[in-house]
Structure 1
Amino acid sequence: MITAATSGTWTLGDIPVHRLGFGAMRLTGSAAFDLGAPSDRSRSLAVLRRARELGVNHIDTAAIYFSALRSANELINSALAPYPDDLLISTKVGPVRDVTGEWLEWARPDQLRGHVEENLRQLGRDHLDLVNYRTDGRRSVAEHFGALAELRAAGLIRHLGLSNADPDQLAEAQRIAPVVCVQNRFGLGATPAQRAVLDVCGASGVAFVPFFAIAGKGAEAGAEHADGPALLAVAEAHGATPAQVRLAWSLAQGPHVLAIPGTGNPVHLEQNVAAGAIRLTAAELAALDAEAAG
């Protein structure tokens, strides 16, 4: 059985995790942030438990991940509590949705404690392993990150990270408190600006956690791309799917890269975990990059 351990290990803060993790966003429904038909609860719980059986010990979630009758945090709590010592659960704060699912204005710095406490309540924990501040488009992250640093000092948060951040924002946050990861959109065909964040993280020993590595431009709606001949050829050579090759490509970008593919499908979960065992050659990586750039 292929497990997440084949992807390698990175110490996130002071917690060793396998580089192939799991994103919880899609557990709540077929489309992220959809308040229509809820997901099948028993299936979502089974996916989480199977992820753990496959060695996944880094799960990414957020209180904003909910649909009709389903909350990613509540599903995680129900499936996995009491939590094993080797499991790291990361969450994020900043964006706000009301109970109807409507997006509201970004959280103010003084509201972040309430958001952290809501994640604690939903997950059934007395502290959060890792909280990523999702930037709101403004240049400075100092006030928001400073508020989270105070909560870290108070013991409510163990480690801090950033999401949707650029190198300048990372540097600003690092002057306030240690940053253990940056969680950004990144995948095959990444732009020079996206690669710059990857490189800065690698140079400073910060984990880089790409999201939408499979979905690409489709983002929350799911994959919306045509697989080119080079990608299909590499997939055939490895007996893999194009989605698995996309994940393997992401992991090949550096030992500090951690993948968090999300799914509510148990078959896709097994495939995602197995992608951590794929080792692409230099020639294959070059062919994939050339195709994506063309």
Structure 2
Amino acid sequence: MNMRALGPFQVGAIGLGCMNLCHAYGEPLAAPDAERLLLAALDMGVTHFDTAALYGFGASETLVGRALAPHRSRFTLASKCGMDGVVGEGGVKRRVIDGRPEAIRRTCEEALRRLRTDVIDLYYLHRWDRSVPIEDSVGALAQLVAEGKIRAIGLSEVSAETLRRAHAVHPVAAVQSEYSLWTRNPEIAVLDACRELGTAFVAFSPLGRGFLAGAVPDAAAAEAFVAKDLRRSMPRFQGEHLAANLQWLPALSALAQEAGCTPAQLALAWLLHKAPHILPIPGTGNFAHLEQNTAAASVRLTDDMMARLEALVNRATVSGARYNAATQVEIDTEEFN
């Protein structure tokens, strides 16, 4: 696989997002199957694995540690802090955003144990806790760098302004935000800011949470989401918004056929062609999809195909917000007017 810079590291152009091994979409994989998938990804040339304390409230980090710790020298390990779970009423965990230095340190120590490693290569602030100055949170991460517990600092879902404030405290190796054909917000400012600062841009949900890969071909598929599927709360997968988005999906499949690849590969190749500092991290629990996703690094798109893709899927043709109102207030990224 072609290599790209992820801060100080050189990694395969397409990494693996490890959220949906145990969190967010459908039923999680059984642990042995998840571990086999992680090892298969490594054998396919994936060298960038991205997880977080939040994913399964530690379950994803535990899986990654158990499967990949024996091969630690072969890959770059990324995880996240600042958004985790606390035990609420009835013993049920609920998600909290906490960017206090003491919370960041605690989460890092817990992550190191789960990941079975002495150091995390890239450690992100998962969300900016607006009750804590970004300088304080990044200062805590910088102290972890100084102590050798992490090697580089990242931020997730932040604006260009917040990135610049953070970068003034300590170099930010990577920004991770949602970016795909149907979520173009990073094009407002943060992509350019990353390029100017020498910061990598890691694109999560590069397949539109499965929509761009054809995983939701009709309304019935959306209605069949399990109760805990995050997409149940996302406007783009509901009612009139979903109906509108389904209208252009066959044309996207036709463009993929013309390009000689799958729709998922087309969406990933589009990202890779946009700029050399963009690194997509599709997630999957399916071995065949894993193989297809990694092979997308070899897909070549003409300027004409890029233009036709962007004419088909863009702000005007995509219906619905990417998050519901309650989640949107937690996000620092720029929004289109």
TM-score normalised according to structure 2 size: 0.77
Q: Which amino acid in structure 2 is aligned with residue 278 of structure 1?
A: V
Of 123-132 and 92-101, deviating more is 92-101
Matched, 1:15 2:9: yes
Tell me the equivalent position of 2:55.
65
Aligned to 2:115: 123
Deviations 1:16-66 (A, max 9, x none): 10110000001115x34x8xx642222111110110010000000012111
Matching residue of 1:95:
83
Aligned length: 282
Counterpart of 1:136, as a letter, is: W
The correspondence for 1:233, drawn from 246, 254, 263, is: 254
For the Cα contact (< 8 Å) 1:61–1:91, is it kept in 2? yes
Match of 1:163 in 2: 156
Aligned to 2:192: 199
1:264 aligned onto 2:291 = no
Map residues 1-294 of structure 1 onto 2, 5 A cutoff.
Answer: 5=1, 8-28=2-22, 31-32=24-25, 38-66=28-56, 71-98=59-86, 100-136=92-128, 138=130, 140-191=133-184, 194-216=187-209, 220-221=230-231, 224=237, 225-226=245-246, 227-293=248-314, 294=316
Shift of 1:101: 3.4
**Post-superposition offset of 1:175:** 0.7
**Does the residue aligned with 1:228 lie in a helix, a strand or coil?**
helix
Q: Is the 2:81–2:123 contact (alpha carbons within 8 Å) kept by the matching residues of 1?
A: yes
SS at match of 1:263: coil
For the residues of structure 2 that align with 1:84 and 1:125, how far apart are their CA atoms? 8
1:79–1:280 Cα change, 3 Å = same
State the alpha-carbon separation in 1 of the partners of residues 39 and 124 from structure 2: 24
Task: Tell me, yes or no, if the aligned pair for 1:23 and 1:262 is still in contact at 8 Å.
Answer: yes
Structure 1, unmatched stretches of 5+, are: none
DSSP-derived class of the 1:104 partner:
strand
Query: Identity over the aligned pairs, expressed in percent?
Result: 37
Show the counterpart of 2:223.
none
Task: State the distance in 1 between where 2:231 and 2:297 align.
Answer: 24
For 1:165 and 1:193, the matched residues in 2 are separated by 10
Q: How big is the shift at 1:120?
A: 0.2
C-alpha distance in structure 2 between counterparts of 1:254 and 1:260, whole Å: 15
Distance in 1 of aligned mates of 2:18 and 2:294: 14
Say which is worse superposed, 236-245 or 184-193, in terms of deviation: 184-193
Q: Tell me the distance in 2 between the aligned counterparts of 1:268 and 1:119.
A: 28
Residues 1:105 and 1:76: Cα distance change in structure 2 (over 3 Å): closer
SS of 1:165 mapped into structure 2: coil
SS of the counterpart of 2:153? Answer: strand
| Larger mean Cα displacement after TM superposition, 167-176 or 106-115 | 106-115
CA change 1:220–1:22 in 2 (3 A) is: farther
Per-residue CA deviations over 1:60-119 (Å, capped at 9, x if unaligned) read 00121117xx81111112211223423101001111213533113424222110001111
The 2-side partners of 1:164 and 1:217 are apart by 20
2:172 match: secondary structure: coil
Deviates more, 1:237-246 or 1:259-268: 237-246
Q: What is the root-mean-square deviation of aligned Cα atoms in Å?
A: 2.4
Distance 1:191 1:112 in 2: 30
Q: Could you tell me how far apart the structure 1 residues matched to 2:173 and 2:97 are?
A: 27
CA deviation profile, 1:196-245 (whole Å, cap 9, x unmatched): 21122123321100111112597943994535354222200133221221
SS at match of 1:62: coil
Matched residues in 2 for 1:63 and 1:201: separation? Answer: 25
Moved more, 158-167 or 225-234: 225-234
Structure 2: gaps spanning 5 or more residues: 212-228, 238-244, 317-337
Which one-letter code corresponds to 2:289 in the other structure?
H
Contact 1:12 1:181 in 2 (8 A): yes
